[in-house]
Amino acid sequence: MSIAESSASVEVSELTPEEARAAFDQIAHAAMDMSGEEFLAAFDEGTFGDVDPDDHPGLLDVLMALPLVR
């Protein structure tokens, strides 16, 4: 059976702004041991501007989650 022939279903649910902010906060805590608010403040100050995400474990996870709050 090919993917086109499968009967798999996909369910999508949208997060409220509060749920999205909470999810971002959890990701920031788990990945970088800082709150989402702390990360956003540091990000806005340019702290991560010239940083290679590969050199900082967890940074890429948080950067990829930015669309949740921005």
As a whole number of angstroms, the distance between CA 61 and CA 24 comes to: 10
pTM for this predicted structure: 0.80
Q: Exposed, middle or buried by CB within 10 Å (0-12, 13-18, 19+), for 29?
A: middle
Close Cβ partners of 37 (under 8 Å, ≥ 6 residues apart): 25
Give the model confidence (pLDDT) of 20-55 as tens digits: 999 999 999 999 999 999 999 999 999 988 889 989
- What does the domain layout of the chain look like in residue ranges? 17-68
Cα angle value 40/28/39 (rounded, 5°): 20
As a whole number of angstroms, the distance between CA 33 and CA 5 comes to: 44
